[in-house]
Chains A and B, each alone.
Chain A
């Protein structure tokens, strides 16, 4: 059968794209341990017992080093606990986030922090706040009638 010259070129381009993307994703996932933002570390907890399961029985910001913090945050309808989190400029924060009820979002616009808060799972993401400002932490996953009000502040002082 006769295949037009341009069609042959197009098939080659298409196949090349496929191979390049497969290799890129393959190396990312298996060699560089890339994951979607927040990736659950496989820690499972009973969502009905969130407030009884450490560390979420005491949602808090915890200093673990020189300008380094762990933030254990529970998302719920319709807010975050703890809220109005204050940190010094340059702080590196490891966010550990779960949900007490339905799926919520966990996003700080203007940064690369953007992941889900999933009941029964703990999602983790690390970010360094180099600019002093009042950052908005908001829910970007529809979670119910109060969804559009669900937000809090991260205040970076410096």
Chain B
């Protein structure tokens, strides 16, 4: 019995969505969001680190 992922994928191919299932779009969106959040955290970290260096 094909998994739900495989069945969604089969349906998408006949739809013409061409290898992008809705689930794939969600995963891509989540991944990009997480990277953006990571970038913000990194930037904030450097901000505080610079403060620490300057106050030494």
Residues of A within 8 A of B (CB): 2, 4, 6-7, 9-10, 110-112
Contact = CB atoms under 8 A, between A and B. Distances in A.
B31 A6 contact: yes
Contacts, number: 16
| Interface SS of chain A | loop
Interface in B1-55: 3, 5, 24, 27-28, 31, 34, 52, 55
Contact of B27 (A2, A6, A111): A6
Contact of B31 (A10, A110, A111): A10
Nearest to A112: B55
A111 B55 contact: yes
Interface of B: 3, 5, 24, 27-28, 31, 34, 52, 55-56
Contacts of B3: 2
Given A6-B28, A7-B27, A112-B55, 8 more contacts: A2-B5, A4-B24, A4-B27, A6-B27, A10-B31, A10-B34, A112-B52, A112-B56
Nearest to A113: B55
A10 B5 CA distance: 19
Nearest to A4: B27
Nearest to B23: A4
Q: Which 10 A-B pairs have the closest CB atoms?
A: A6-B31, A112-B55, A6-B27, A111-B55, A112-B56, A4-B27, A112-B52, A6-B28, A110-B55, A10-B31
